[in-house]
Amino acid sequence: MPQVPLTVTGTGTSHHFLVEVASTGEQQQRGLMFRRSLAPDRGMIFPFAQPEMATFWMKDTLIPLDLIFVRADGTIANVAANAVPMDLALIPSDGPVTAVLEIAGGRAAQLGIRAGDRVSWKQ
C-alpha cells in the first residue's frame, strides 16, 4: 500500500504520522488485521469516495487501536479509543465521515487528539 504523511492539528498542536492508504475494498477489508505491532508515528487511513456512516470492528486485529473518524471538512467527528483486539463489537462514527484513521491504541489520548481537531494528508 502507498504511504503518505498525515498531520493531526489541534489548538496549538500538530502531530505527524506516516500512514498506509487503504484505498481498495480488499485493502480496507484487511486493514491492520494480523499485525503484531504498530509504531507510535504510523497508522492507516481508510478514505471513502462519499461521506457515509462508518462502522468498524476488530476481528482478527491483534493490537489495540484508536479509530479516528474524519468528516468531509477534515475535522474529527469522534475518536474510539483503545479498541479491543479481536472484538466483534461494532465501532460506529458519530455521523457521516469520509475517512477513518487508525493509530496505535492510546496514542490519541497521549497526544490530546480529540473531536474537532483537523486531519490532513495527501490524497
pLDDT tens-digit readout, 53-95: 999 999 999 999 999 999 999 999 999 999 999 999 999 999 9
CA distance 2 to 91: 25
Q: Name the residue type at position 55.
A: T
Q: pLDDT confidence of 122, banded at 50, 70, 90?
A: confident
The DSSP code sequence of 19-43 is EEE--SHHHHHHTTTT-S---TTEE
Express each pLDDT in 4-17 by its tens digit.
999 999 989 999 99
Task: Indicate the average pLDDT of the chain.
Answer: 96
Please name each of the domains of the chain with its CATH number. 3-121 (2.60.120.1140)
What burial class does residue 92 get, using C-beta atoms within 10 Å of its C-beta: 0-12 exposed, 13-18 middle, 19+ buried? middle
Strands (E) located in the chain: 3-10, 13-21, 42-52, 55-56, 65-70, 76-83, 91-92, 97-104, 118-121
**Average pLDDT of 100-110?**
97
Which residue in 21, 17, 22, 20 sits closest to 5, CA to CA?
Answer: 17
C-beta separation of 13 from 111 below 8 A: yes
Name which of 108, 120, 116 is nearest 10 in CA terms.
Answer: 116
Confidence (pTM): 0.96
pLDDT at residue 38 in the model: 97
User: Looking at residue 1, what is its pLDDT?
Assistant: 82
C-alpha span between 88 and 58 (Å, rounded): 6
